[in-house]
Amino acid sequence: MIEKRPFGRSGHQSTVTLFGSAALKAATQAEADRTLEVLLEYGVNHIDTAPRYGDAELRIGPWMAAHRKDFFLATKTGQRDYKNARDELSRSLERLRVDSVDLIQMHALYHPDEWDRAMGEGGALEALVDARDEGLVRFIGVTGHSWTVAAMHRRSLARFDFDSVLMPCNYYMMSNERYRNDFDALVRECEARNVAVQTIKSIARGPWATSKQKYATWYEPLEDQADIDLAMHWVMGRRGIFVNTAGDMTLLPKVLDAAQRFQTRPSDAQMTDLVERRQISSLFGIGDPTPLAA
């Protein structure tokens, strides 16, 4: 089975790999039900979903009648004002067929203008705090993409005592000195405050060439098992953090198989070779990273 780690201050022992349910955005219910069997087979006990993930919440809903107790259930809101955030949470609870979720996250909060709206008076944060007070959610987190997100998460933690953060982490991105420094500083702060750290894009290879797209991910992923092993094991080798699975059902067994076999973190030489062999590149519009310090 896959290793479990304390999910911040929640009291839940979550599997290191969290199910990223973007994989279900266009799934039929039959396909989603087969995915549930894969999760149960590997012992995955944490589901991360969002209204933006197409039909994912609808597909998870039927699982909850029999399996709610088996999963830490997280969703998100991309709304930035009070009313729309509350309305979106209510819709998520209805679609998920639950009375409450374990974690609600402010989705993709990294643009300064959106941050000001969400964190200000009458913003989404006030809605989520009220929802927590009413027992509709237990914990509140914040997520984001881009090269600036780790620094923005530190700003968010200075504004509010979030229970979790989520951001990209892979060898290529962490080879960028500025991103690595921001990421490391955020993780140190999260460790001191017992805030859960979730990561995404562990097996990202780069943007799709339009003629090649064959997976449901918005980026081209690594697909060979040996490559996925290296990428997953490198991220898993960081103490205390979590890895969200890629948004494609066909890749899920490979990702979970890699997670189940994790023992040690690959060397920088192995990872540099992977970057060169698979021509891994940036997803977020920045040039080649500076080399890792010796």
The DSSP string of 105-165 is EETT--SHHHHHHHHSTTBHHHHHHHHHHTTSEEEEEEE--STTHHHHHHHHHHHS--SEE
Q: Provide the CA 85 distance to its chain's centre, in angstroms.
A: 20
What pLDDT score was predicted for residue 286? 65
pLDDT band at 291 (very low <50, low <70, confident <90, very high): very low
pLDDT band at 294 (very low <50, low <70, confident <90, very high): very low
Residue 225 has pLDDT above 70, yes or no: yes
Sign of the torsion formed by the C-alpha atoms of 42, 47, 51 and 52: negative
Q: Provide the CA 237 distance to its chain's centre, in angstroms.
A: 17
In the chain, the percentage of residues whose pLDDT exceeds 90 is 95
What is the amino acid identity at position 285?
G
Task: Give the whole-angstrom CA distance, residue 219 versus residue 145.
Answer: 13
List, as one string, the DSSP characters of 220-262: EEP-SHHHHHHHHHHHHTSTT-EEEPPS-TTTHHHHHHHHHT-
pLDDT band at 285 (very low <50, low <70, confident <90, very high): confident
* Residue the block writes with tokens 């060397």: 267
Write out the two tokens for 130: 């009220």
Average pLDDT over residues 155-163: 98
| Tens of pLDDT, residues 37-81 | 999 999 999 999 999 999 999 999 999 999 999 999 999 999 999
| Tens of pLDDT, residues 166-224 | 999 999 999 999 999 999 999 999 999 999 999 999 999 999 987 789 999 999 999 99
Residue 246 has pLDDT above 70, yes or no: yes
Average pLDDT over residues 11-37: 98
In the chain, the percentage of residues whose pLDDT exceeds 70 is 97
* Residue the block writes with tokens 């979730």: 198
Q: Which of 80-84, 89-93, 222-226, 281-285 has the lowest mean pLDDT?
A: 281-285
Apex 22 CA angle, 18 and 23, nearest 5:
90
Residue 90 has pLDDT above 90, yes or no: yes
Which CATH code fits 4-277? Answer: 3.20.20.100
Residue 289 has pLDDT above 60, yes or no: no
In this structure, are residues 23 and 247 in contact, taking their beta carbons and an 8 Å threshold? yes
Torsion of CA 17, 18, 20, 24, to 10 degrees: 100
Residue 106 has pLDDT above 60, yes or no: yes
Count how many Cα atoms sit within 13 Å of the Cα of residue 237 in the half-sphere of its side chain: 15
Residue 247 has pLDDT above 60, yes or no: yes
Kindly report the average pLDDT of the chain as a whole number: 95
What pLDDT score was predicted for residue 193? 98
Measured from the Cβ of residue 52, the count of other Cβ atoms closer than 10 Å reads 15
Task: Give the whole-angstrom CA distance, residue 149 versus residue 146.
Answer: 6
The domain spans of the chain are 4-277
Longest dimension (CA), the chain: 52
**At a CB cut-off of 8 Å and minimum separation 6, what does 265 contact?**
233, 234, 236, 237, 238
